[in-house]
Amino acid sequence: MSRLEIISPEGLRVDGRRPLELRRVNSRTAVLSQADGSAYIEQGNTKCLAAVYGPREPTKRAALLHDRALINVEYSVASFSSGERKQKLRRDRRLMEIASTIKRTFENVILTTTFPRSEIDIYLQVLQIDGGALHTAINAATLALVDAGIPMTDYVCACSAGYVNNQAILDLNYLEESAEIPTLTVALLPKSGKITMLGLESRLHLDKLEPVIQLASDGCKQLKENIDATIRESTKSLAKTILQ
């Protein structure tokens, strides 16, 4: 796919967005009945479901930590989620790598010292992929963790950004990601502005790094507004049922 088509002469991307525009985000919490906390988020056509169980007794006694909680992340992609049907392999290395990235992202944010000798499980199920599966999963996990009532120092908001035709673009979709545009995923703690996870798997010129990170961080802050609004709404409705 030629680079010229990513941004049309009028400055519009393939799906009609402006370069600095985020996709439409829809999210809800408490979608699963059995989980302690759960959330569903849709960013454009990428859909992800998160379930959080915990803090609870660790399943593997040997792995428990005496002074803090153990965080366990499982990331799974549905067979029908992408254009071609892919049979899910039991131990797909790539999925395990993504799961461990997400685990490290949250380990620093969750107040694990509050729950020593216990386990917090985060299960992520991606239902449909249109680019940005990793950052959508992180956002879903944040929502689910808040829904489960697990204390964190801040929201973790993630977003992706890329660089094409001397223009940094925000929130890449599947076509843009597969067109070999360098994609940078950033997970940010909005209050402090600190970056808790940064991932880049392609080549990007050092001069361009700063603006792209900045753009992704701005995207994260926008997403934070959305996540915050969802949490407040669900808390309000929860409060209503309690106070009745």
Partner 1 sequence: MISVSERDYITKGVDVSIRADGRSRLDFRELVLETGMITQASGSCRVTLDGGTDILVGVKVEVGSIEPEVEAEEADILEDMEQMDQDDGITMVKDKDRGRIICNVECSPSATRIFEPRDIEDMCNEYSQFMNRVLNGSHGGVDLKALCIIPGSTCWILNIDVLVLDYGGNLLDAIFMATRGALHNTRIPRATVEQSDGRVEFDIADEETEIIRGWEDVPLCVSLNKIGYRHIVDAAPLEELCSSARLTVAVNRRGNLCALQKGGHGGIEPSLLAEMVQTAKQIGQTLLKRQDAALREEEERIAAGKDPIGFGAASRH
Angle between helices 93-107 and 133-148 (to 10 degrees): 50
Contact flag: residue 129 with partner 1 (CB under 8 A): yes
Q: Among 127, 152, 195, 204, indicate the residue that binds partner 1 (CB under 8 A).
A: 127
Based on CB atoms, which residue is closest to partner 1, 4 or 96?
A: 96
Residue from the set 18, 57, 63, 79 that interacts with partner 1 by CB under 8 A: 79
- Binding of residue 28 to partner 1 (CB under 8 A): yes
Instruction: For strands 119-128 and 157-164, give the pairing.
Output: unpaired
The single-letter code of the amino acid at 200 is: L
Closest approach, Cβ 33 to partner 1, in A, equals 4
Q: What is the separation of C-alpha 128 from the centre of its chain, rounded to a whole number of angstroms?
A: 14
Contact 224, 192 (CB under 8 A): no
Report residue 34 as tokens: 């059995």
The tokens describing 235, both together, are 């808390």
Element (H, E) at 226: helix 206-243
Closest distance to partner 1 from the beta carbon of 32 (Å)? 5
Q: How far apart are CA 61 and CA 225, in angstroms?
A: 39
Q: Does 109 bind partner 1 (CB under 8 A)?
A: no
Could you say which residues in the range 44-63 bind partner 1, by CB under 8 A? 45, 47, 49, 51, 53
Q: Is 76 in the site for partner 1 (CB under 8 A)?
A: yes
Residues that bind partner 1 (CB under 8 A): 26, 28, 31-35, 38, 40, 42, 45, 47, 49, 51, 53, 74, 76, 78-83, 85, 87-88, 121, 123-125, 127-130
